[in-house]
Amino acid sequence: MTRQSRAYAFGLAAVLAWSTVATAFKISLQHLSPAQLVLYASAASLIALLAILACQRRLGDYTSGLVRYWRRSLTLGAINPFVYYLILFQAYALLPAQEAQAINYTWALTMTLLAVPLLRQALAVRDALAALVCYLGVLVIGTRGNVLGMSFSNAHGVVFALASTVLWACYWIFNTRDTREPVLALAQNFSFALPMILLWCAFTDQLHPVAWQGIAGAAYVGALEMGFTFVLWLTAMKLTDSTAKIANLIFLSPILSLALIHLIIGEPIYMSTLAGLALILGGLTLQKLPLGRATLIRPR
């Protein structure tokens, strides 16, 4: 296989894995609370990441980095996985999987908007138009098509889903200042987050025996969505001769995810979800088009 063919193989493997997680979230939440799912999934993810580092013979770098970067690991670990997944799983507990996963895809646009105040970057007119299109899609999904009536099917669930995009975007913005190797950094962040999650579960009286189906689901979510898939995607990005070729594969994920949600969970796919998702993907595509960079907001 050529280098680019291997990049496509790793990228598609990551996209296929990510396409299953909305279904896995929903099934796991039938047996676990959001906090319990964060706890067990984070533990599984840390084990997976440590196994990867062990295979790469980098456990020494991991342990030395725990001391050297403890403040950064504590801060980023508090965002991801602790608070981010706690809020995301709460959104999945309140909303149909199809709606929560569709809204979650707006995080890339949220990151562009937050880069204006946090990184002092200019906001292009194109980005502003993309935001309008994407958030119109969120409105269509959240109201199940009743946009004029502004009647949300579950307003709290929509707020949680949107809040998760803000946290995920903030996490990646703060990561721009992190010089650590990504897999190493993720393992160190999870190491500091796990005690926080454990304390939260103890404080909220959620440390009690759970069904094996919940543990199995959490192990799948943690090892795949939080662990191995991240490495697959990083590998694809390193091998490719064009970041755009691999990045565009991510647009396959929501379609595959909807199919799995329908086939495995049995959710009827709403027309409002399809229309809203089309708007969200259209807005994200608009953001990538070479339409010039006229500036709407330029930070001082």
Q: What angle do CA 42, 44, 50 make, to 5 degrees?
A: 100
**Over 90: is that where the pLDDT of 238 sits?**
no
Q: What is the mean pLDDT of residues 75-98?
A: 95
**Over 90: is that where the pLDDT of 269 sits?**
yes
* Confidence (pLDDT) at 115: 83
pLDDT tens digit string along 40-73?
A: 999 999 999 999 999 999 999 999 999 999 999 9
Q: How confident is the model at residue 285 (pLDDT cuts 50, 70, 90)?
A: confident
CB 184 within 8 A of CB 62: yes
pLDDT tens digit string along 3-17?
A: 888 888 988 998 899
Distance CA 54, CA 65 (A): 15
pLDDT tens digit string along 20-35?
A: 999 999 999 999 999 9
**Over 60: is that where the pLDDT of 88 sits?**
yes
**Over 60: is that where the pLDDT of 184 sits?**
yes
Query: DSSP assignment of 85-154, as one string?
Result: HHHHHHHHHHS-HHHHHHHHTTHHHHHHHHHHHHH-PPEEHHHHHHHHHHHHHHHHHHTTT-TTTT--S-
* Confidence (pLDDT) at 298: 63
Q: For 188, left (φ over 0), alpha (ψ -120 to 50), or beta? A: alpha
Identify residue 60 by its one-letter amino acid code.
G
Q: How confident is the model at residue 294 (pLDDT cuts 50, 70, 90)?
A: low
Residues 255, 260, 262, 267: is their CA dihedral positive or negative?
negative
In the numeric block, which tokens belong to residue 160?
Answer: 């949680």
pTM score: 0.90
Distance CA 216, CA 222 (A): 10
CB 52 within 8 A of CB 183: yes
Distance CA 246, CA 224 (A): 19
Whole-number percent of the chain with pLDDT over 90: 57
pLDDT tens digit string along 217-234?
A: 999 999 988 888 888 887
Q: Which residues pair with 295 in a beta bridge?
A: 124
CB 32 within 8 A of CB 218: yes
